A and B are shown apart, each in its own frame.
Chain A
Amino acid sequence: QKEVEQNSGPLSVPEGAIASLNCTYSDRGSQSFFWYRQYSGKSPELIMSIYSNGDKEDGRFTAQLNKASQYVSLLIRDSQPSDSATYLCAVNARGGGTSYGKLTFGQGTILTVHP
């Protein structure tokens, strides 16, 4: 079992729809959770971080965390063609100290938003 798994893609949604991206992780002691967006040929850029159970909203993006179910999700409302990218879920297993940036990534989900 992979440490971080994302729902298999690619995911295609029409412009204006809600895109839902899912991620599960195996290490129950994981502390910090991140969503990165990666355009083709570019490096990952952080779009959301979440540390406690519940929802966290930032503009059109909402991250949801359920530690009991070891599940993280990202919702993108009013999807735009510019949202078309690979979305990477990343988990920091232990957190704290010098290990904050030591992330385990999922394989990514390719999202396509079509006009």
Chain B
Amino acid sequence: EAEVAQSPRYKITEKSQAVAFWCDPISGHATLYWYRQILGQGPELLVQFQDESVVDDSQLPKDRFSAERLKGVDSTLKIQPAELGDSAMYLCASFGANVLTFGAGSRLTVL
């Protein structure tokens, strides 16, 4: 079964450090999303890519977050510097055949 791959699964960092998350969508899926899910809440969209282009990053805190998908396949989400409030699950999802499929997520803890 096709999967969305994410790494790392868990990341613990101190505030002010830089962190990066990687995502490889299901093969052939042109549309990729990064969502953030704070414990006890639903996922919130951070950024949407169509191939290598950003379609929507209106909810991305651009002073500290950046996202790229240089070759239109895998994607990286970076946070620099990390803050305590960034502790959350970062979920990558890709869209195809009318289905949005999530990866296993990257759990970030900022100390």
Residues of A within 8 A of B (CB): 4, 34, 41-46, 49, 88, 90, 98-108
Contact = CB atoms under 8 A, between A and B. Distances in A.
Nearest to B99: A46
Interface residues of B, number: 26
Interface stretch (B11-19, B48-56, B68-76, B79-87): B48-56
Contacts, number: 58
A88 B35 CA distance: 14
B44 A100 contact: no
Given A88-B42, A105-B42, A43 B105 contact: yes
B45 interface: yes
Given A42-B104, A43-B102, A43-B105, A101 B31 contact: yes
B104 A107 contact: no
Given A98-B55, A101-B31, A44 B99 contact: no
Contacts of B55: 98-99
B48 A45 contact: no
